[in-house]
Every structure is written in structure tokens, then in C-alpha cells.
Amino acid sequence: MALNFKTALCSLVVASALAACGGSGGSSSPASSSSGGIGSGPPPTTPTTTEKPYTNLDTREEASRFLIQAGFGGTDAEIDALVGTDAADWIVAQMNLPATRTLPLMQARYPAREDTDFNHSRMLWQTLLTADDELRQRMMFALSQIFVISTDSFFDQGYGSAYYSDILVDQAFGNYRTLLEDVTYSPAMARYLTYYRNRKGDPETGRMPDENYAREVLQLFSIGLVELEMDGSPKPGSPETYDNEDILGLARVFTGLSGHGPSFRWSDQLPDYRHRPLQVFDEAHSQLEKTFLGTTIPENTPGAETITQALDTISAHPNVAPFISRQLIQRFTASSPSPAYVRRVAEVFESGRFSAPNGQHFGRGQRGDLQAVIAAILLDPSVHDDVQDLNEGKLREPVVKFIQYVKAFNVTNIDVWAEWRFYNTNDPTSKLSQHPFLSPSVFNFYRPGYIAPGTATGDAGLSAPELQIVNEGSALGFANFISHYVLRPADDPVNHPGFQPDFTAEIQLADDPDALVEHLDVKLTAGQLSDAAKADIIDVVSTLIVDGEDADVARRKRAQTAIIMIMASGAYAVQN
Amino acid sequence: MAYYNRRQFISRSTLGFAGAAMGLSALGHGTAQAANVGGYKALVGIMLKGGMDQNDTILPVDTPSYNALKAMRPGIFGAYDSEAETSSRNLQNILELNPTNAAQFTGRRFGLPRELSNIHGLFESGDAAIVGNVGPLLEPVTRESFQAGSAELPKRIFSHNDQQSTWMALGTEGTRLGWGGQFADAALASDAAANPLYAAITATTPDVFLAGERARAFRVPEIGRDVSLDLESKRYYLGWENDRDELRAKMSAFLRKNDYAHNNLFRRDAANMAGRGIENQIAFSERIASAAPLSTVFPDTRIGRQLGGVAQTMSLRTNLGVSRQVFYAATGGYDSHDNQARDIPLRHTELDEAVEAFHAAMIELGLWNDVILFTMSDFGRSMVDNGDGCDHGWGGHHFVMGGSVRGQQIYGDIPEVDASHPQYTGTRARLIPTTSVEQHAAALGRWFGLDAGELGKIFPNLNRFDRTALSFA
């Protein structure tokens, strides 16, 4: 089949524009570049053969693998539907889905008052478990682990954290610079990193501006601590990107921001300030000169203009592309991405365009286009090649594992408010060691550079962030958590009416343990269980005697047993 | 105000500690080539994540210093309503410390906020000491050398994650060996009979502190947490039918083993950790269940439950087959950029109550003389405030506590409350450490039983500092 070059039909700039493209997406709804049209982008790969591009999902294993990497895995039907299609088309279809935002959901559920962040963190769980716009939600979750807020830090701002997560939803396929600005002006981030109502210095009392955001916006949200090559590795000698003088200068920038209203006075904030952008009040904004990262913003520059210039300066730093690209790769496809992979994605970050092997175009050509970046991550050759490399793959995050369980078995009757376990799933001893928007600090659940002591990956110098929460201390908790949900709702629906799974397909295969395990292996691990593990699981499943009037119970038990064992296996722990 | 230069300071402090320092020869400066592992000893590190504000922990109580601090932190003292009679930061309500080396401070006096009343009691009774102005250093640094850029500095000072790592492992994030783990390694090397599994114990996350070449952090549950594999212990999970016992046994074996060959390194690690974790967690929990419970009640706080888990583990020491253990606990919430007056007293109270319970548990177990509990933190904080909080600093003050601590003393230094003092950075009055983490940790290591050779390997810059300055144990 010849590669399919599509013409530009509509602009894919932001979420609303995507949705406005209409159509169901898929292979008949091409993505495109914007203003300049297709000719302004880099030329697509010239087709030299009639073979399908490497992004074509030829088998059920490949389809399952891609859904695990890009979304939350697939049901049998979703996997079947994807076989023979191109991964790029799935991405386009996902980008065209309407965005699921949590602020309207919060307002509907808690109309009388704003309610708490904790309820918003439950709303996030509910959304992640049920929303159809999986790629966008996964991107939201990924971005929430770079632009971190943690909702256990403020107790009365459920609308505020909803507004914040919606920024991540809206900019999931938007632009980095816009995202950085929206984050900076969000009341939730301002509260979390303490620049909310941060006042200019006072020479009389000696008071100085709060340095918190100045420091973390550089260290965590944009450029990091050392100068990077485009492939994400430190430049020779690891020169530091900024010093304390830069922080002093930049701290002056983030002054004078408060909830919107007629004045800086606390009492003047309008009631809906928590879900509207912050406002800069020049009377509280430092009028001093601000010098940082080699830029000087002259004294008496108005606050809004100052922040614009500062964010422009930060965003323009050459570190941003490799720094952000590497972390996004880590959240989707590789715990320790190769330098070449980081470079490929970082170059797309710079150009703002990506052309898929099947001719789909992503991005509108502006630096930091996240639509292009995510497509480049998910369509990279290393993601679609044979499963062999010792160093490839991503340790799955516990939250994503559980979502996959829910999606894979069409789990229904999902109401996390009715489940005490979902109040906080962070506990490693009995739950998942992870809860959306509930990391211990702005440093997320784990660090992108974490190298686990005493491990094979550590000996090989590979970063393995997820091992900071997926480890000896959390293995038992995960096994117990997943066992509960695989077993109890199906076994005892009267007492456990929530989270009802559909094991119909598995029960039908249960009389043939080999077929059952084979089927689950494709669905859950993309066919990557080792033969030895499969043999042992088949052996365990076979101990259950399917006979007599309890035969149906035993069949279900066989399915449940196999699911638990696969989800506890080493093969499942890593998507590759 | 007159300042001592560094040379004068060292000679003074060395003189001041001469008596104590003489005791050091018995603790590992001799010719022994290996760690002393006689008896039982345990180190318990508490990481106070976020950067504990030393200025709001060791408070000045002589009037000039108190007023100077208040003048530099009008926002924070205002938020404490420090002039109110009942305010914890009212000078009258600060618990004065009476260090035996008070003379070193020429009239300057110190106290603890009342939220730290138990730690204050331990200090006064000689069971706790303060190590002042300690932080990561590669060589001695002054403001002059700092500002001139001539001093060799630790990397990424002021960065949370990197300074946590530097405190615990002498290098920025990604450093692979922590000194706690290396202490455990040294003890294991000298004690062939010791069980390496239980040499390094965390009651929280597996941070780098406990990472050794052999020693790995073993996570123990917080006190009161009963862990088991539900598939085994909840019989209704898999059922009562005749075939179910075999199923239970086989599933359990599968989950505890997880040792399938994996070419992929991430899979290999994940599988090993899962199998080992489940097997060891259950085995440990069974040991706890079979042992006599502690009668000491620990506070139901994050740090309280963790120190309870530590004490519970120590109660099993004979059963676990170890004579040297390094423990790690951690609690967050110290990054007081704002709301300091609301948050820090809560953090202090939690710490103080947990320490007191731990003290009681050690008395109960007869181990108080065999443990040293010590605090660590990312960094200290700026003395100049930002309205209602303060910002990242460098040097900070820390506690060491235990029956064998030469307590009621302030080791190291607590520089004057004066931003122009040469031990502060030029802006925001951030302390430049006068005692290095390596010195501090080496003193703990000597007590733990490591000899000079072992300490020299772990702490490469130790010889750049006065090796006798710290003699708190």
C-alpha cells in the first residue's frame, strides 16, 4: 500500500480547534499543519517501497502494545479494531475527541460550595478511569508530574485544582509557552508554590520576595539545573544553568500576583478567583530591575509585561526542548530514553512539526508544539521496533496499571466516592503508592534521574524513576489492591457493587487454560510474558477443577487467578 | 560587633571540647582495621524534608540577639504575634537551653520553642546535643571566598532534591551510595554472621541514605500496620473448596518468587523487587506478630508511626541477627516559604512527640544508650523573611540524641544574628556552614564503630576539616 499523503483540512492548534475539525478522526481525518499548509513543514519521508510504514499495527500484539504505550491499554474489541491500522491515525482520532474537563464536573457535583481538593483528586481518579479521551488524559497525568501541584497542601480549593488540571487538559496538545503561562497565572500553582499574594521587597523591614516559584519554575518546569545537549545529556563539565543571583532577580518577577479583583487587598478578591487566572497588581509588584538568565528587565516595567518577558526568556532557553521532551518520553514510553530518542523528540519540540511515516502531520510549526511532541514520542521507531532491547521500555506507573485493568475488562459501576480505598491510593503498604495530584512534594512521586540502588538498571546507569514507588516496600500493597478489585466485586456483587468487571471472554476460554493465558497475555502485556511464566500460570490455573454445579465459579476463578498473576508479573511491570 | 575569624574559632572550639575530644581515641581512632561490632548499636536518621528553618528552631534568648532576629523577620514574628503573652515566640515563652559550653558564645544564649519541650528536656538532662551550622561543604568557606567564587562548593546548593541527596550521600540526585548504607556495609564486613537483609532499615521511602554496596534499605511497616498477602490470609478470596488450598499455595509461591529470567533490565529489577518485597514483608510481619508488643504508645503521626516501626524493629534485633543497624525515617512539610507561624509549630510538635515516644520505647527496651537519633534536612533557611515565611538556605542546626550522646552542649557554631556577619551569604542572610556534613556524619560513624580508614573512604573531604571538632558521642 502506498503511503497516504493527506491534504490539510483544518487547523490543529488547540483542543477546541481539534474538536472543531469534526468527523470521527481515524484514517479519514488527517491532522495537518496550519497557516503555511502542508508545504511549509518538513517534507514527509519519500515512499520508496510499497510496504506499510513501521507505525502500522500489523498484529494484535502490536495493537495492544501501542494502546498500552499511548493510552491505557485496550479491550479485546479495541485491540481488534486497531489491527491493520496506523498508530498515527489513532493519535489523530484521540486528538479530535472532545476534552474531558473536571471543573464542570466539580461544579455539577458540588454546586453549593467549592469543596475540597481531596474531592477533586477523587474526581481526577474518576475521570481517568472513565473518560474516552485517553491520550489527552494520559498527557494531562504526564504533565501533572512535571508541573506538579499536590492537593494535600490546601484544603478548600477543589475548584482551584480543577481549574488547574483543566489547564493541563486544554494544553495537552497545545504549546509549551502557553502552558507555562497558564500554569504561572493559576491560583492553584500560586498557592502551592507560595507566590500567591507574594509582595515586592520592603527596604524598611528588609522583607524580600518569596523565591520559591523563581527557583522551581527553572529547576522543574523549564530548564533544569545543568546545561543540556539536545539529546538530554549534560554538557561537558555540567555547567549550571543559573545561580542564586538569577533567583534573586527572578523572584522579583513573581510579585504582585493575587486573585482577580479591583485591588490587591485580600478582601477585594472576587468570589470565583480560584478558577480564573491571577491578576498582577502593580502596587505590589517589584519595580526594581530584574536580572536573570542573561536578561535584564528594566526597572518600572509593568508587572504583566515583566512576567511575559520573563516567561519568554525562560521558554527560549535551549534546555527546554531536551528537558521537557525527556520527561514526557519517560511518562509514556521509556524510563531511561536513549540520547538519540531524546534528540529526535527535542528536535520536534524545536521545529513544532512532526510528520508521521504514514503522512499524517502534527503540529503547527511553533516551537514547543506539544501535539507534535507527543506524536513524535509515540511514533518513534524505537517504540515500534522489535521487543528486544535490554534498556528499552517503561516501568508502568501504578495508577496507569489500575486504569488499564478497568479499561481492559470493561469495568462498570465506577464511583470512586463509594470506595474507601480511593480516598487516598498513595499508601504503599496497602494501595498503589500513587494517587493523581497527590505527590509528597513538587518533586513528584519520583525523580526523572532516579537510579535505583542495588539493581541491574542501576548497575547499567539507567534511570528508573518509577522504582522509587514500585519496589520491595510496595509490592505487597499492589498485589493486595489488585486482588481485591479482580476478586471481590465479581465474587460478591451484593457487598461490592462498585467496579464490576466483565470477564465474559475469559470465562469462555477458561476450560482451556493455555488459551486463557494466551488471550490475557496479549491483552495485558502485548504478548510479552515469558514462556516459563506462562507455563507456571497455566499450571496454577489448572489446579482449579471446573466441574459440577460450581463450574462457572471455578471458570471465573481461573480467569481472576490468571489476571492477578499476570498483573503481578515482571513482564507486566514494564511496557516495552 | 567583633567576630572571630575561622582560625580563632577552631582553636577556641577545640579548646572548649578538649576534655570530650580526649575520649575519641577509644572510639575508633586506633589501629583497628575494621568496624567494631561488639554489643548492639543503632543510628536513626530523621530526614526533615523541605529544609528546616534553623532560625525558628534554635531561637536566641538573650535580648539583643532576640531583638535582632525579630527585626530581621518582622513578617514571621508578626504572624506569631510574638508580643502576645501566650505567643510561643514571646521571649518569655521560649525554653532556654543551658549548655555546659555556654561560655563559647560570650553572652549569647539560646532556647527552643515550647513545641520542642521534650527535646529541650533531653538536652538539659544531657541526652541531647545540638550541632550548629552544619551543612554540605567540600572545604571551609567564608562569605569572602563564596562571593569571590574561589571556594570549591558542593553542587546545586539551595536545590531541595540535590541537597537532600548531598546530605545523605555527599552528591547530587542520582548519587548511588549513602553514608548510612555504607556504615551498614562496614558493619556487615566485620560481622560474617550478620543478616544483611536487616542491616539498613527504612520506615518510609527507600531514599539514597541507606544505599550501600551490600546493604539495601529494607522497608518495615509503620507501627500498628499488620501486613499480609490477602490471597493467603483472607481465605474467602480464593475460597474453601478442596482445590483451593493448592491454588493458594501455588499463587503465593508465584508471587513470592517472581524469578523468571528477563533480558530486559527493568523487568529484571521489577520482578526481583516484587518477589523479594512480598516474601520479606510477610516474613518480617510474622516475626513482629510473634514478638512481645511494645507498651510504649507512639503518636499517630507520620513521623510517630515511623519511629514506632523503628522501635518495633529494634525489639526484634536478636531475632533478626544483627548487631549494627542504620535506620531511616522522614517527614515533610518543612519548606516554610509561607504560613510559617501556622506550620512550623505543628511540625515541631510532631517531631517532639515522636522523639519522646521513641525515647520511652528505648528505655523500655533498655537500648537508650545504644542508639543515636539525629536529624537531617535539605538545608537551613534564610534569616531574612519574605513576609510570612523564609527561603532556601544552606547551613542549619541539628539535634543528636541518645543516652551515649555527650549532651547539653552546642557543638559546631551558632553564628551571631547579624546579616553582616561573615558566616552569612551577602543576601537574605543564609548561613554558610562551619561544620561539614562529612564531619558530622563521621562523628556518628565513629560512634557506630567504624575506624578511621573506613571513615576516610566514605568521607573523601574529611581531612580538609578539623577532625576533632565534633565529639558529641
Judge whether B393 and B430 are in contact, CB under 8 Å: yes
Which range among A88-97, A154-163, A235-244, A269-278 shows the weakest confidence by mean pLDDT? A154-163
Which helix (H) or strand (E) segment holds residue A376: the answer is helix A370-378
Contact indicator for A243, A210 with CB cutoff of 8 Å: no
Query: Listing from the earlier edge strand, what are the strands of the sheet with B110-112?
Result: B59-60, B110-112, B95-96
Neighbour-count burial for B110-120, b at 16+ CB within 10 Å, e otherwise: bbbbbbbbbbb
- Do B269 and A455 count as a contact with CB atoms less than 8 A apart? yes
β-sheet bridge partners, residue A361: A355
Name every chain B residue with its beta carbon within 8 A of the beta carbon of A443. 160-161
Give per-residue pLDDT as tens, B57-115: 999 999 999 999 999 999 999 999 999 999 999 999 999 999 999 999 999 999 999 99
With a CB cutoff of 8 Å and minimum separation 6, the contacts of B178 are A453, B168, B169, B207, B208, B209, B210, B211, B212
Question: Which of A476, A530, A538 is best to mutate for the B interface (most B CBs within 10 A)?
Answer: A476
Of the partner residues A388, A472, A568, the one whose CB lies closest to the CB of residue B255: A568
Which residues contact residue B159 at a Cβ distance below 8 angstroms, ignoring those fewer than 6 apart? Answer: A215, A219, A225, B172, B392
Q: B133-175 pLDDT, tens per residue?
A: 999 999 999 999 999 999 999 999 999 999 999 999 999 988 8
Pick the more confident residue, A62 or B226: A62
**Mean pLDDT of the region A476-490:** 98
A382 touches B: beta carbon within 8 Å: no
Contacts of A323 (CB under 8 A, 6+ apart): A222, A223, A224, A228, A232
Grid coordinates given for B266: 527493568
Q: What is the rounded CA–CA span in Å between residue A115 and residue A155?
A: 8
pLDDT at A379: 98
Over residues A73-100, the mean pLDDT reads 97
Classify residue A294: in a domain, yes or no: yes
Mean per-residue pLDDT over chain A, rounded: 90
CB count in 10 Å sphere of residue B193: 9
All residues of chain A having their beta carbon less than 8 Å from the beta carbon of residue B270 are: 395, 467, 470, 570, 573-574
Classify residue A74: in a domain, yes or no. Answer: no
N- to C-terminal Cα separation, chain B: 33
Q: Which of residues 525-544 of A touch B (CB under 8 A)?
A: 530, 532-533, 536-537, 539-540, 543-544
A45 confidence band (pLDDT: 50, 70, 90): low
- Listed by number, the residues of chain B in 152-191 with a beta carbon closer than 8 Å to a beta carbon of chain A are 155-156, 158-162, 173-174, 176-178, 181
The alpha carbon of residue A43 is apart from the nearest alpha carbon of chain B, in Å, by 36
The percent of residues in chain B predicted with pLDDT above 90, rounded, is: 84
Pairing label, strands B128-135, B396-401: antiparallel
Tell me the pairing of strands B324-331 and B381-385: unpaired
At A200-243, the pLDDT tens digits run 999 998 999 999 999 999 999 999 999 999 999 999 999 999 99
Would you say residue B3 has pLDDT above 80?
A: no
Residue B12 reports pLDDT greater than 60: no
Contact A523, A407 (CB under 8 A): no
Provide CB contacts within 8 A for A3, sequence distance 6+.
A44, A45, A47, A53, A357, A358, A359
Q: Using one digit for the tens of pLDDT, what is the confidence trace for A116-141? A: 667 898 999 999 999 999 999 999 99
| Alpha carbon separation from B36 to A310, B40, B254, B320, B400 (Å, rounded) | 57, 10, 40, 19, 21
Judge residue B15's burial from the number of C-beta atoms within 10 Å of its C-beta, 0-12 exposed, 13-18 middle, 19 or more buried: exposed
Angular region, B468: left φ>0, alpha ψ -120 to 50, beta rest: alpha
CA B403 – CA B292 distance, rounded (Å): 24
What is the percent of chain A where pLDDT is above 90?
Answer: 82
Please tell me the least confidently modeled range out of A27-36, A258-267, A427-436, A438-447: A27-36
pLDDT for B38: 84
CA distances from B155 to A242, B161, B163, B392, B395 (A): 12, 12, 9, 15, 14
At residue A9, the pLDDT reads 35
Cβ neighbours of A561 in B, within 8 Å? 238, 247, 251
User: How far off is chain B from A548, nearest CA to CA, in Å?
Assistant: 12
Chain A residues touching B384 at Cβ < 8 A: 206-208
- Residue A17 exposed, middle or buried by CB count within 10 Å (0-12, 13-18, 19+): middle
pLDDT exceeds 50 at position B26: no
Task: Compute how many other C-beta atoms are within 10 angstroms of the C-beta atom of residue B370.
Answer: 18
Rounded to 10 deg, the angle between the A244-253 and A212-219 helix axes is: 110
Query: A469 in a domain, yes or no?
Result: no
A214 domain-assigned: yes
Q: Residue A167 belongs to what domain range?
A: 102-132+147-220+242-316
Question: Do residue B237 and residue A395 have CB atoms under 8 angstroms apart?
Answer: no
| pLDDT of A30 strictly over 50 | no
Residues from chain B that touch A479, judged by Cβ atoms under 8 A, are: 229-231, 255, 274, 278
Q: With contacts defined as CB-CB under 8 Å, which chain A residues touch B278?
A: 475-476, 479
Three-state SS for A479-545 is HHHHHHHHHHHHHCCCCCCCCECCCHHHHHHCCCHHHHHHHHHHHHHCCCCCHHHHHHHHHHHHCCC
- Mean pLDDT, rounded, for A54-79: 96
Single out the residue of A573, A553, A437 nearest to residue A503, CA to CA.
A553
Whole-angstrom distance, CA of residue B99 vs CA of residue B129: 9
Residue A153 banded pLDDT, cuts 50, 70, 90: low
Q: Is A293 on the interface with B (CB under 8 A)?
A: no
Residue A35 maps to a domain: no
How many angstroms separate the CA of residue B336 from the nearest CA in chain A?
A: 9
The answer to whether position A387 is within a domain reads no
At A458 the pLDDT is 92
Chain A residues touching residue B425 (CB < 8 angstroms): 244
**Mean pLDDT score of chain B, rounded to an integer?**
91
More confident residue, B1 or A182: A182
Q: Is B77 on the interface with A (CB under 8 A)?
A: no
**Per-window interface: A 191-250 vs B, CB < 8 A:** 193-194, 198-199, 205-212, 215, 219, 225, 238, 240, 244, 247-248
Closest of A379, A363, A365, A364 to residue A329, by C-alpha: A379
Question: By the 8 A CB rule, do B459 and B436 touch?
Answer: no
In the beta sheet, which residues pair with residue A489?
A: none
Question: pLDDT digit string (tens) for A512-555?
Answer: 999 999 999 999 999 999 999 999 999 999 999 999 889 999 99
Residues B365-372 have a mean pLDDT of 97
In this prediction the pTM is: 0.90
**Partner B contacted by A456 (CB < 8 A):** yes
Q: How far apart are CA A391 and CA A334, in angstroms?
A: 9
Which of B174, B181, B338 is facing A451, going by the closest CB pair? B174
The amino acid occupying position B264 is N
Position A390 pLDDT exceeds 90 = no
Determine contact, residues B403/B451, Cβ cutoff 8 Å.
Answer: no
Q: Identify all chain A residues contacting B162, using CB atoms and an 8 Å cutoff.
A: 225
* Yes or no, beta carbons of A441 and B173 under 8 Å apart: no
The DSSP code sequence of B124-144 is: HTTSEEEEEEEE--SS---HH
* pLDDT at residue A2 greater than cutoff 50: no
Cα(B357)–Cα(B345) distance, rounded to whole angstroms?
18
pLDDT at A453 over 90: no
| A262 part of a folded domain | yes
Confidence of residue A389 (pLDDT cuts 50, 70, 90): confident
Which residues are CB-contacts of A65 (< 8 A; sequence separation ≥ 6)? Answer: A387, A526, A527, A575
Cα separations in angstroms, A458 against A330, A550, B175: 16, 49, 11
**Residue A63's closest CA among A90, A29, A37, A27?**
A90
Tell me which chain A residue has its CA closest to the CA of residue B282.
A476
pLDDT value at residue A46: 52
The phi, psi pair for A292, rounded to 5°, reads -165, 150
What pLDDT, on a 0 to 100 scale, did the predictor assign at position B206?
A: 86
Q: Please tell me the total count of domains within chain A.
A: 1
Window 322-361 of B, Cβ < 8 Å to A: 332, 335, 337-338
CA angle A216, A219, A225 (to 5 degrees): 150
Residues 6+ apart with CB under 8 A from A71: A94, A134, A135, A138
Chain A residue numbers touching B71 (CB-CB < 8 A): 206
Q: How many CB pairs under 8 A join A and B?
A: 250
Q: Over the range B430-469, which residues count as b (16 or more CB within 10 Å of their CB) and which as e?
A: bbbbbbbbbbbbbbbbbbbbbbbebbeebbebbebbbbbb
Length of chain A in terms of residues written: 576
Q: Tell whether A187 is covered by a domain.
A: yes
Rounded to the nearest angstrom, the minimum Cα separation between B71 and chain A is: 7
pLDDT tens for B228-280 read: 999 999 999 999 988 999 999 999 999 998 888 899 999 999 999 999 999 99
The model's confidence at residue A3, banded by pLDDT at 50, 70 and 90, is very low
Best to test chain A binding among B179, B267, B331, B384 (most A CBs inside 10 Å): B267
| The dihedral sign for the CA sequence A533, A390, B276, A335 | negative
Task: Closest CB to A543: pick one of B156, B247, B282.
Answer: B247
Contact B185, B210 (CB under 8 A): no
Strand partners, B424: B431
